[in-house]
Amino acid sequence: MLQKVDKFIPIAKPSISEETIDEVVGVLRSGWLATGQLTQKFEENLKKYFGGRSVMTFSSATAGLHASLMAIGLKMGDEVITTSLTFAATANVIAMLGAKPVFVDIELDTFNIDHNKIMAACTSRTKAIMPVHYAGLSVHLDPIYEIAKKKNLRVIEDAAHAMGTCYKNRKIGTFGDIQVFSFHPIKNMTSGEGGCVVLDSESEQKIIALQRFHGIDRSIWDRFSKTANCYYDVVFPGFKSNMSDIQSAIGIHQLKEVETMNERRRYLSARYRTAFEDMSDEFVMQETPRFDFVHSGNLFPICFQDETRRDFFMNFLKEKSIGSIPYYTPLHLFNYYQKTFGYKKGDLPNAEYVGSRIVCLPLYYALTDAEQDYVIDTVRKFFR
Ligand SMILES: Cc1ncc(COP(=O)(O)O)c(C=O)c1O
C-alpha cells in the first residue's frame, strides 16, 4: 500500500532560512539594492570557499559562461568541444559568439563527456573544451587538461551542477582554468538567480569584469558611494549581468549552508541507490567512476532500459503528486543546432540513447525520509 502524501513533491526546492529572509529584508530597507558591499562580501566568501582563487559573481551561470568565452577570445568560426547531454545554456553561449559547439559523445555509464573521444574532435579551429559535470558527478578532468595542454586550449568547466563536487579529493573550482557555477534555485545553493566564475588569469578577469558591466572601467559601488568619483570611461561594449545585493544576501547564507545541504543530498542519493539496487532490469543509475570523487547530489537521474515507458512513468508520478524531469534532451537534436550546424539524429548514439531514457527524481535538502519513501514506493509500484 502506498502512503498518502497531501502535497506535491517537486523535482527540486530551495531551502531558505529565516536568517536569510531577515537579511534580504535588511537589504530592502538599506537603500542599496544593486551590486554593492554585500556582493563584495559574497565574492570574498566564495573566494575562501574556492581556496583563494578569484571569483566574479554574475546574474546567471549563462552570463558567466558567455563572459568566460569572451575572455578567452572566442571568435566567429572558432570551435568549442562540449557535451550534447546538457542544458541549452552550455552550447547557446558558444553559438551566440558565432562559434561552433562540437558535440562529443558521452559515456553510457557516467553520462559525462567521453574524454577518449575529445582528441579526435580537435581541429585547427578548436579554442576550448567545455565539459559539464553532469548531475554533480565530476568528469575525468586529468585527461581533458592533458589534451588542452597538448593542443593549447582553454578548459571552461560548466560547473552549474557541481557546487561541492570533488575530483580526486579536490573541490571543483579550486584548480584548473575556468569554472562556472549556477545559483539558480534548482541548484545545490541559490541566490534566487545567479552564478559565478572562478579563475586565476588576471587578463581574463579584466575582460570578464568589463563584459559584466557595460564595459565600464569601474564598479557602480565605486561611483555612487560617499567618497566616490562619479566619472567613468567605456572601454568596450559590455553587457549587464552583475549580481545585486539582494541576490548576494541570499547567496551569503546559502554558501554557509551548502556543505550541510549537500550532505543530506548525498544521504538521500544513497537511499535511492539502496532502494533501487534490484531494479537494473528496468533502469540503471549513474555509474560511479574509477577515480576518487564526491558527488554534489544535484540531480538523481535514472536511465530506463525501455525508452517507451518513460512518458508513462512520468505521468504516473505526476498522478501520484511527484515531479520528475527528463534532463536532458541532447542539444544536437534541437532544431537550431540541426539547422545551423548540420547535426542529425544518429550523430551521437550514446547521448541519444541516454537522452531518450533519462528521468531525474526529486532530490533536495528539505525532502524528508518519509517523502522519499513515498517516491521510492511509487517508482517500485510503477514497475510492478
Ligand atoms: C549544465 C547547465 N549549464 C548552465 C546552466 C545555466 O545556469 P543559469 O540558469 O544560472 O544561467 C544550467 C542551468 O540549469 C545548467 O544546468
For position 380, what pLDDT does the model report? 98
pLDDT over threshold 80, residue 69: yes
Ligand 1 centroid to Cα of residue 371, in Å, is 27
| C-beta of residue 330 within 8 angstroms of C-beta of residue 348 | yes
Pocket flag, ligand 1, residue 87 (CB < 6 Å): yes
pLDDT over threshold 70, residue 4: no
Pocket flag, ligand 1, residue 269 (CB < 6 Å): no
Ligand 1 binding pocket mutation candidate from 130, 182, 189, 358 (most atoms within 8 A of CB): 182
For position 299, what pLDDT does the model report? 98
Res. 224 pLDDT band, cuts 50 70 90 = low
Buried b / exposed e across 166-181, counting CB within 10 Å, b at 16+? bbeebbbbebbbbbbb
For position 2, what pLDDT does the model report? 56
Res. 288 pLDDT band, cuts 50 70 90 = confident
For position 221, what pLDDT does the model report? 63
Pocket flag, ligand 1, residue 195 (CB < 6 Å): yes
Pocket flag, ligand 1, residue 11 (CB < 6 Å): no
- Widest pairwise Cα distance in the chain: 70
Mean pLDDT over 184-199 rounds to 98
Alpha carbon distance 62, 175 (integer Å): 21
Ligand 1 centroid to Cα of residue 135, in Å, is 11
Mean pLDDT over 55-78 rounds to 98
Ligand 1 binding pocket mutation candidate from 172, 184, 193, 196 (most atoms within 8 A of CB): 184
Alpha carbon distance 38, 57 (integer Å): 11
Annotated active-site residue 117? The verdict is: no
Ligand 1 centroid to Cα of residue 160, in Å, is 5
The residue annotated as part of the active site, out of 100, 171, 187, 320, is 187
| C-beta of residue 302 within 8 angstroms of C-beta of residue 359 | yes
Ligand 1 binding pocket mutation candidate from 87, 243, 247 (most atoms within 8 A of CB): 87
Give the pTM: 0.96
Pocket flag, ligand 1, residue 136 (CB < 6 Å): no
- Sketch out the chain's domains with CATH numbers: 18-383 (3.40.640.10)
Buried b / exposed e across 267-292, counting CB within 10 Å, b at 16+? ebbebbeebbeeeeebbbbbeebeee
Pocket flag, ligand 1, residue 132 (CB < 6 Å): yes
Atom of ligand 1 nearest to the CA of 187: 14
Q: What residues have CB less than 8 Å from 274, skipping those under 6 apart?
A: none
For position 217, what pLDDT does the model report? 80
For position 26, what pLDDT does the model report? 97
Res. 153 pLDDT band, cuts 50 70 90 = very high
Which three cell numbers mark 327?
Answer: 534532463
For position 290, what pLDDT does the model report? 86
For position 118, what pLDDT does the model report? 98
Higher local confidence (pLDDT), 131 or 219: 131
Q: What is the mean pLDDT of the chain?
A: 96
Buried b / exposed e across 98-137, counting CB within 10 Å, b at 16+? ebbbbbbbbbeebbbbbbeebeebbeeebbbbbbbbbbbb
For position 310, what pLDDT does the model report? 97
User: In this structure, what are the phi and psi dihedrals at residue 276, rounded to the nearest 5 degrees?
Assistant: -105, 15
Tens of pLDDT, residues 314-356: 999 999 999 999 999 999 999 999 999 999 999 999 999 999 9
Mean pLDDT over 225-243 rounds to 87
Res. 222 pLDDT band, cuts 50 70 90 = low
